[in-house]
């Protein structure tokens, strides 16, 4: 039986996502630029994993392409799967505390450092991460 990319039983697309976190707990979000599905929605930086690429290599490549930052280390944090009308995605989410360079808007996207996240609309699959990040900040002694 053949499937299309919009079929609910199609394999999910792997996406590497990086949450850049400053020592004070602020995290970086970007706004999807015009021309992409769900343009205008806010998300954490990242993108699709290419064939043969590890999730961590995809993360490093995407953050360099989108923001011009070099990830020095990152810790796998959680996974989320979500079915959109345009795609079925599986997000592999990392927390990054060490990077080189200042984030720049290399794809014309707006971006914002946020403590308690106030930008909207957020991509639906990013919404649960906000609460989990608040819990993480509490666990490590930072105010949510």
Ligand X SMILES: Nc1nc2c([nH]c(=O)n2[C@H]2C[C@H](O)[C@@H](COP(=O)(O)OP(=O)(O)OP(=O)(O)O)O2)c(=O)[nH]1
Pick the stretch among 2-10, 94-102, 109-117, 123-131 that binds ligand X (CB under 6 A). 123-131
Sign of CA dihedral 113, 80, 109, 39: negative
Q: Which residues contact 35 (CB under 8 A, 6 or more apart)?
A: none
**CA–CA separation, 115 and 120 (whole Å):** 14
**CA–CA separation, 14 and 51 (whole Å):** 10
Q: Closest distance between ligand X and the C-beta of residue 36, in Å?
A: 5
In the complex, which residue's CB is closest to ligand X? 47
Among 27, 28, 44, 117, binds ligand X (CB under 6 A): 44
- Contact call for residue 64 and ligand X (CB under 6 A): no
- Contact call for residue 96 and ligand X (CB under 6 A): no
Site mask for ligand X (CB under 6 A), range 102-121, x = bound = --------------------
Burial of 58 (0-12, 13-18, 19+ CB in 10 A): buried
Site for ligand X, residues 4 to 43, rule: CB under 6 A: 15, 17, 36, 43
- Contact call for residue 59 and ligand X (CB under 6 A): no
Phi, psi of 70 (to 5 degrees): -100, 120
Of the candidates 12, 132, 119, which has an alpha carbon nearest to the alpha carbon of residue 78? 132
- Contact call for residue 133 and ligand X (CB under 6 A): no
Q: Closest distance between ligand X and the C-beta of residue 132, in Å?
A: 12
Interface with ligand X (CB under 6 A): 15, 17, 36, 43-48, 82, 84, 87, 89, 91, 123, 125-126
């Amino acid at each position: 039986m053949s499937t299309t990319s919009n079929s609910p039983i199609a394999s999910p697309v792997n996406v590497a996502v990086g949450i850049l976190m400053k020592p004070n707990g602020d995290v970086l979000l970007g706004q999807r630029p015009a021309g992409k599905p769900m343009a205008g929605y806010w998300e954490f930086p990242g993108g699709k994993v290419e064939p043969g690429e590890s999730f961590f290599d995809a993360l490093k490549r995407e953050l360099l392409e989108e923001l011009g930052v070099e990830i020095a280390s990152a810790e796998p944090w959680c996974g989320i799967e979500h079915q959109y009308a345009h795609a079925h995605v599986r997000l592999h989410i990392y927390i990054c505390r060490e990077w080189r360079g200042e984030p720049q808007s290399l794809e014309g996207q707006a971006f914002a450092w946020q403590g308690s996240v106030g930008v909207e609309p957020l991509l639906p699959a990013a919404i649960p991460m906000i609460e989990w990040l608040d819990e993480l900040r509490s666990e490590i002694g930072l105010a949510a």
